[in-house]
Amino acid sequence: MANLEKEFRVETSAHHCHLTQETLDGLFGKGFDLDKYVRFPLSQHGQYCSTVRVDIEVDGKDGKKHRLNGLSILGPARKYNQFEISLTDARALHIDAPVRQSGHTENSIGCTVISKDAKTGKEIARVELKDGVVAQKRHIHINPTQAEELGVKDGEIVAVDIKSPIDRHVIFDDVVIRVNPTFDLSMHLDTDESNAAGLNGKETTGHLVEIKR
């Protein structure tokens, strides 16, 4: 039975990307070590936001190329390339970014990744990718012990009541549970969802309302 009283952390995740070592090498040179560029640690064990940023360029539905600048690279390097943007970003880029779980990038939007010199702004390299641009499905990171305490299982869909610092109370449905031993209990929202609750990018708490399926 789900624990509907336990509150947990709710964080806002601005647009960012995860890159493979191959892509990092193509952008910054062979053997590029992202671990040397830690800006700050993230709530999930071993993960961090780096000081390194990239731009992406996409082919819009209007027949023009559009660019999103300054996506932070989260580390460490992943087994897949993924660019997580909001639906507001997608509208500005004139693309239909599919809503996906992390790692499910097949047949998503392709892009050109562009690296630039941090000091001069001069372009360094470009890497073409056939897919990877998605809007992240809202989700809860949780480890097995915490999942047992909360009464949830991996892959379940839940509804979450979000505490708002202003008069913007909201319940988010269609939240997927992601269980992994390395995770720590935390719900992730993108900036659109965060703004809907009046969070202004700040951390808050939430609690389960029900398990949907």
Q: Which residue has the tokens 């960012």?
A: 16
Q: Which residues, given as ranges, of the chain have pLDDT below 50?
A: none
Compute the distance between CA of residue 27 and CA of residue 123 in angstroms, rounded to an integer.
10
Per-residue pLDDT, 193:
96
Domain boundaries, the chain: 8-12+138-211, 16-136
pLDDT, one tens digit per residue, over 87-123 is 999 999 999 999 999 999 999 999 999 999 988 999 9
Contacts of 72 (CB under 8 A, 6+ apart): 14, 16, 17, 39, 49, 50, 52, 53
Q: Which residue has the tokens 């209007």?
A: 62
Per-residue pLDDT, 213:
75
Per-residue pLDDT, 156:
97
Per-residue pLDDT, 25:
99
Per-residue pLDDT, 172:
97
Contacts of 136 (CB under 8 A, 6+ apart): 13, 84, 99, 100, 101, 102, 188, 190
Per-residue pLDDT, 188:
97
Per-residue pLDDT, 118:
86
Compute the distance between CA of residue 13 and CA of residue 8 in angstroms, rounded to an integer.
16
Strands 139-142 and 186-189: antiparallel
For the domain spanning 8-12+138-211, the CATH number is 2.40.40.20
Per-residue pLDDT, 62:
98
Per-residue pLDDT, 181:
97
Q: What is the pTM of this model?
A: 0.94
Q: Dihedral (C-alpha) 77, 157, 184, 106: value to the nearest 10 degrees?
A: 0
Per-residue pLDDT, 212:
85
